[in-house]
Amino acid sequence: MKFVSRGESRRVLSTPRTNLNISYQVRARIMSDTLLNTSRTPSPSLSASSSNTEDSLSPASSVSSNAPKELSSQFPSPFYPPTLARIEGIASKYPTPALPSEYPPLPQIETALKRDDKDIGTPDEWVVRDERLVRLTGKWPFNCEAPLPDLWNAGFITPTPLFYVRNHGIVPRVNRADAESWELEISGMVSKPTTFTLADLLDPAQFNAVTLPITLVCAGNRRKEQNVVRKSLGFSWGPAGLSTALFTGVYLADVLEKVCPVNDGNFGDTEFRRALHVIFEGAEDLPNGKYGTSQLLRWSKSREKGMMLAWAMNGEALEPDHGYPLRLVVPGQIGGRSVKWLKKIIVSDTESQHHLHFFDNKVLPTTLMPEQARSENEWWYDPRYIINDLNTNSAIANPAHDETLIVTATAPATPQMYTLSGYAYGGGGRRITRVEITLDAGETWKLCNITYPEDLYRKRPFKSDIWGTLDLTERDESYCWSFWNLNVPYSALVDAGSVAVRAMDQGLNLQGQSMYWNPTGMMNNWWFRVAIHKSVSASGDVTLTFEHPTMPGLQPGGWMERMKEVGEDILKPIFTDAPKAEDTEIAAQMKEKAKKPAVLMTKEGVDRKITMAEVLAHNKEEEPWFVVNGEVYDGTGFLAKHPGGSESITLVAGEDASDDFMAIHSADAKAQLAVYHIGTLVPSTEKVEVVVVAAEPDPIFLSKTKWKGAVLVEIEKINHDARNYRFALEHPDQPLGLPTGQHVYARLRRKASSADAEGGAISVEGELVQRAYTPVSSEHAKGFIDMLIKVYHRTPDFPEGGKMTLGFEELVLGDKVEFKGPLGSFKWLGKGTASWRGVERKAKHIGMICAGSGITPIIQVARGIVNDEHDHETKVWVVNANKTESDILLRADMDELHKRRGPDRFRQHLVLSKAPEDWAHSRGRVNLDMLREHLPPPSDEALILICGPEPLIELVVKPALITLGWDVEKSLVVF
C-alpha cells in the first residue's frame, strides 16, 4: 500500500509490509490458485490435448512466456483468467470450497472454449469467447448477449462464458505480471491519498472479503424494439442484455473509510468545497479518453448499496471481457456504472468529467431526434436525464421465439396446461412484488407465481477463504433477477392472439403499455408481447407458433419488423387472425390508414408530365435534370449548395438516380428534394430504336454515366483499422481512367449475416450504401483499382460505425463493388499546372495537409508531381497528422517520394497526438506555428490542398491560413 499526504507531491513511496502472518499467506495461495478453476470439476474437453489447444489459441506473444517470477507471499499466485490459464497450461492446485447446498447451484461449464474465428484480425483476437454469443456490433468492438433460451436454461447464476459483454474499445491485455503489480490509486478530497495493490485489497488484516449475488443489466436491454420503431443512437440489444454472478471483492465503503473523504475549507467560506462524488476510471484507451463515471459519495459510503471492488465472479478470476484483474460492481444500477479494469478512484466536489459519463447512459426527451441530440451537446450535460437505477422490467422466455405447440383436435380428459415463464427485475434494490400476464391485450390480467432464488442466500451466512463472507441474512435489498411462471390451458392460448407480461416492484413502479421512445433507445420497458399464430390441419389439430417482438443484433425476425413492413402500427399492435374473405377490403383500408406518412419529395401543384427523352436532353452540367422514384427534378438551383459538390448532381444528369439518391440521403435531404421537383415521368410516345451490341469491355473502365462492377481479388491489412482493397477491372490491360486529383463513387450492398449473430455463414442482402473515395491507384493504372479504406468501427458515440467502411470490412474475395466516375473539381495536369473549378492555373508550390485516411488524395497528387519527368520545378510540402505512429498510412510510399526528389522538392512533417518518447517530429495537434514552418508562403503560384475532418479544416486550418496571409477562397482546395 502506498500513501500520499494531502498537498504533498504526486511522487509515491512504496511502504513494504513485513508483518504478514502465516494464515494470510496460506489463504492468499489457496485463494489465487482456486480462482483459476473454470468449473467445479475439471472439464476433460478443456484439459485434454493442451499442446494442440495452445498452438491454435495462444496469443501471438503468449502471456505464459512472460510468466512472473516467484511471487511474494503478499500476492495470490497464480491469479489469471480461467480461459487463458487453461490454454496456457497453468494448473490449479486447490479446489474451490463448495457452497452450502441450500444456495442456488453454480453453473457447470461444459463447453470447450476456444478462440472465436470472428475475432481474428481484431485487437481482441487473443481473448477466448463463446461462439454462441450473439454479436451486436459486428466483429469489433465486442458487444454481445447470450441467446435468450441459452441464458434462461443456464439458471439463476449465469455461466461466465454466457455473461453479456459491453465493451467500448480494445480489451486491455493484462498478463500475470501486470496483475501482480496492478495498483488502484485513490486521490482527491481525502485525508489519506493511497495507492492500493491487489494484495492490499486481498489482505484480511486490512479488508474483509465479501461475496454478493448481483444481476448486471445493460441500459440498452431490449433496445432493438425501439430501433425498429425509429433508429436510435444505440445498437440493437435483445432481451438478454443481463446476467447474474456471485461477485467477490471488498466493499467500496470499506476502502473509502480507509482514505477518509473530507471537505475542503470551512463551511460558509467562498472557497469551501464539499466532497460529493466518487469518480471511477478504467484502464481502457478510447478515442475520447479513458472510460469513467461517478457515484454520489453518500451512496458509495453505504454498504447497503452493495458497491464493491471485485476481483472474482462465480469463484474464479475475472475474465478479460469482464475487467480482469479488478472492477467496480454497482448493484441495482445500469451496467455502465460498473467500471471495468479499475485504476483510479477520485473523491471530488463535481461529478465525473469523462466523455462517456456525459455522452452515454441518458434517457433524453422523446421529442428529441437522434440527429439533433448528436449535434446539440447541451442535452447531454443536463443532470435530469442521467440514468443510475434500473427501471422495472420483465420478459417472456417460454414460449421461445419460433416455438411451436400442437393442440390436438381430440381434447384429453385432463386439460393440457402450458407453463408460461420468464424473468423480472427492479432497480435500486427494489423487490419485484407482482408479475401479471394478459392473453387479451390488457383487457384482463392473471397474477403469476414469483420465485426469488436470491432469497436462498438469506437462509444462512457462509464464510470461506475463497468466497470471503456471503451473508444476506440481514439484507432486504433485491439486487438479482426473479423468475415468474403461470400455468395456462392450451385452449386459452388457442383463443389468444398474443401473450404479454408486465411487472411491478415494491415502489409500485409498473411497466407501461406504451413505449417511451428516446434518442438513446435506453431503458425500454413497455410490456413484453409475444404474438401467437395459428394454423389448422386437415385433421383439426391446431399448431401454435410463437413470435417474439424482435431478434437481437442484425438477426431478422420478430413481429415488430414484420408488422412494420406491411404498414401496421407497431406501437399499438393488434394481434388477430388473418381477416376473413368478406373483411378483406375493410382490412386493407385499415392497413393503409395505419401506414405512417412517407417523406414527401414532391411539390404541391406540380402536374407537368415529362418524358425520358426530355430528361436526357437536360444531361448538361449547367442544367442537370434527373429522376428519383418516377419524379423529375432540376438540380440547377442546388449545384452550389450541395455538400458533396456540384458533381454529385451532374454525375446523374439525364439519368434515373433513384438507387443512388435513396441509398445515401437522410430523411431531411429527401424532404429538401421537393423544392426542385418539376414534374412526373411518363412513358415516351416516340419509338425507341434498340441497338444490340457485343458485350465487350469499354476501352476505359470508369464511366460518369453508369456504374461498373469490379471484383475483389486482394485484401492487404495495413494496420489495426486500415485495409487496402484491390479490385480487378474488366480485363488486365483496361486503363482505369482516373485523372490525378479526382475521386470516384463506390457503392456496395451491406451484408446482414448470421456470422454477426450466432456464428452462421449465411448472408442476406442488406442496405445499399455508397460514398466518394479517392483510389490510391495512379493515373496510368491498368487492370485494377486500389482502395485504401480506414474502417470506422462501432463506438458508443457512433453505434452504427461507418456504414460504408464496415461494408468494405464485410467483403470477401470474389465480392463485387461498383464504381462510377471520375469526379472532382480539382485535377493535376502536370508540368506545374492544375485545373480547379474549371480554370487552369500555374502552381509551383503545393502545400498539402491531411489527417488519417485523408492521405489518399494527397499521395495521389504527390505521386503525379514527383513522377512527372517533365516537371523539375514544382515543390511539395506535406503536413500529415495522426493519432499514433501506427496510424500513419502509406508512410513508406511517402518516404519513397522524398528519396526520389530530396528535401528541396519534397518534404513531409508528421504530427502525432500520442507520440513515443523518441519522436522527432511534432507532438499534439496541428496549429498555426506548424503551418507557418512547414507550408510554403502564400503566392500567386501556390496552392494548399487538404483532406481531413471538418473541425480541422474549419476551426484550425482556415483561420491559420488567413492569419498567414492566404486567400482561402482562391488558394485552398478541400477534397
Question: What whole-number distance in Å separates Cα of residue 792 and Cα of residue 780?
Answer: 30
Question: What whole-number distance in Å separates Cα of residue 894 and Cα of residue 891?
Answer: 5
| 905 closest CA partner among 857, 867, 931 | 867
- What is the number of other CB atoms lying within 10 angstroms of the CB of residue 588? 11
Beta-carbon contacts of 292 under 8 Å, excluding residues fewer than 6 positions away, are 279, 280, 281, 282, 339, 344, 352, 354, 356, 357
DSSP-derived 3-state class of residue 462: strand
**CA 819, chain centre distance (Å):** 29
| 911 closest CA partner among 920, 898, 902, 903 | 920
Q: Which residues pair with 543 in a beta bridge?
A: 406, 535
Pairing mode, strands 763-773 and 432-438: unpaired
* Catalytic residue positions, numbered: 218, 360-361
Q: In terms of DSSP H, where are the helices of 481-530? A: 490-495
Please, how many CA atoms are within 13 Å of residue 556, restricted to the half-sphere of its CB?
A: 12
Crossing angle between the packed helical segments 891-905 and 855-866, to the nearest 10 degrees:
50
CA distances from 489 to 242, 407, 837 (A): 30, 10, 76
Do residues 708 and 701 make contact, with C-beta atoms less than 8 angstroms apart?
yes
DSSP class of 273: B
| 770 closest CA partner among 712, 815, 829, 819 | 819
Long-range CB contacts (< 8 A, 24+ apart) of 560-565?
Answer: 560/225, 560/228, 560/229, 561/228, 564/228
Hey, what's the cell of 237? 440489444
H or E element, residue 244: strand 242-251
Phi, psi (degrees; rounded to nearest 5) at 771: -160, 160
| 901 closest CA partner among 921, 874, 931, 937 | 874
Question: What whole-number distance in Å separates Cα of residue 542 and Cα of residue 496?
Answer: 13
Strand runs labelled E in 349-431:
393-398, 404-407, 417-425
Beta-carbon contacts of 322 under 8 Å, excluding residues fewer than 6 positions away, are 160, 163, 165, 313, 340
Do residues 602 and 674 make contact, with C-beta atoms less than 8 angstroms apart?
yes
Please, how many CA atoms are within 13 Å of residue 430, restricted to the half-sphere of its CB?
A: 22
Pairing mode, strands 609-611 and 677-682: parallel
| 307 closest CA partner among 240, 216, 182, 242 | 216
Do residues 475 and 458 make contact, with C-beta atoms less than 8 angstroms apart?
yes
H or E element, residue 845: strand 845-851
Q: Which residues pair with 531 in a beta bridge?
A: 498, 547
Do residues 139 and 118 make contact, with C-beta atoms less than 8 angstroms apart?
yes
Q: Which residues pair with 788 in a beta bridge?
A: 724
| 879 closest CA partner among 931, 914, 916, 918 | 931
Do residues 777 and 738 make contact, with C-beta atoms less than 8 angstroms apart?
yes
Do residues 186 and 194 make contact, with C-beta atoms less than 8 angstroms apart?
yes
End-to-end CA distance of the chain: 55
Q: What is the DSSP string of 768-825?
A: EEEEEE--SS-TT-BSEEEEEEE-----SSSTT--HHHHHHHT--TT-EEEEEEEE-S
Category of 557 on φ-ψ map: left (φ > 0), alpha (ψ -120 to 50) or beta: left
